[in-house]
Structure 1
Amino acid sequence: MLERFYGKFVLSCSCCGEQAEDKFSKFDEVTQYMRNNGWQSELDEDNDEWQHFCPECKGK
């Protein structure tokens, strides 16, 4: 899950709720963090929402 609080993006796993340690000012920073740290995103076509998965939960 990707939410924005007080101008910062907060990345958390849609499966287990684990949050990334960093908070991000720009969307590009989020995608770079995900690539560098083994996170995965998938579009849930039923709900038309993006799901984000930490390294522990991706592929479950």
Structure 2
Amino acid sequence: MNEYDRALSPAEIGGTNEESINFSDIAELDEASWQGAKLDEPDPTGPALADQLAERSPAA
């Protein structure tokens, strides 16, 4: 498992292959895990996520 001193950039995360990710410390989900699960759907009348993110990003 890799330990990182800093958060990875999106490009670094995108360049990571799945085989190098250690999933061993993530518990498997069973039926009880899903009992309180809720689907949180976006408001279809609201702005698209890409538009919201563009508004928050500093101008390039």
User: TM-score normalized by structure 1?
Assistant: 0.23
- Greater share of residues in strand: 1
Which structure has the bigger radius of gyration?
A: 2
- Greater share of residues in helix: 2
User: TM-score normalized by structure 2?
Assistant: 0.23
